Amino acid sequence: MPVAELGEVALHYETAGEGPPVLVIGGTGGDLRHAPGPFWWPGAERFSLLAYDHRDQGRSVSRSDLQPTMADFAGDALALVDHLGWDRFSVVGISFGGMVAQELALAAGARVERLVLAITSSGGEGSRSYPLHELYARGQEERAARLVELLDTRAAAQPRLAQAIPGARLEVFDGGHGVLLQDPAAWPAIADFLGAAA
């Protein structure tokens, strides 16, 4: 797996496929060494996919002692697409990666052709994310049981985020936080949406 040396961070990344460029930004704790990865989803072969481990996750590292902000994570993603010479691209942000993708879209502007925000929130006043620090403070068995419960929690769709983004549309699929694995219709719909930019 290649490494991009980007100032204070060294990001491990992978690319696959041919077609319109799509950056996949994974969630908290993501590690490209673990399955399922971002390259397996139905329709992935239609795109040039780029995925990476966030700073201090997987095999990526940060050389800064400062607590990173969401803008820092978005800056990492933008520096990576710049490193690969991508001018225009689409983005799929999943969970925490969806929050990063929102910051990235603000920073990159018209360079982002299509934006998919999956199982995420805007954070802050718009909708806070789950307090993962509380989850990780629990014992291993309790944490594992709670994590399974959280991944399968079925909640009514929150249209708040879609309403705040001009031109956005809300798609609802069957599943909890693991919906991209739980509903076989999710990835093909995302691929069709991304393909419309080509």
The answer to whether residue 183 is domain-embedded is yes
Tokens for 102?
């929102």
Domain count, the chain: 1
Tokens for 184?
């076989």
Report d(CA 60, CA 64) in Å as an integer: 13
Report d(CA 48, CA 20) in Å as an integer: 6
What pTM was computed for the model?
0.85
Is 97:30 a contact under the CB 8 Å cutoff?
yes
pLDDT digits (tens, 9 = 90+) for 140-195: 888 777 766 665 555 555 678 888 888 898 888 888 778 888 899 999 999 999 99
The answer to whether residue 198 is domain-embedded is no
pLDDT digits (tens, 9 = 90+) for 120-140: 877 765 555 556 567 667 788
State residue 122's pLDDT score.
78
Report d(CA 39, CA 24) in Å as an integer: 9
Among the residue ranges 19-23, 31-35, 106-110, 160-164, the one predicted with the least confidence is: 160-164
Is 115:91 a contact under the CB 8 Å cutoff?
yes
DSSP state of 67: P
Residue 104 belongs to domain spanning:
3-192
The answer to whether residue 115 is domain-embedded is yes
Report the CATH number that the domain containing residue 51 is assigned in CATH. Answer: 3.40.50.1820
Per-residue three-class SS string for 115-183: EEEECCCCECCCECCCCHHHHHCCCHHHHHHHHHHHHCCCCCCCCHHHHHCCCCCCCCCCCCCCHHHHC
The answer to whether residue 128 is domain-embedded is yes
The answer to whether residue 110 is domain-embedded is yes
The answer to whether residue 197 is domain-embedded is no
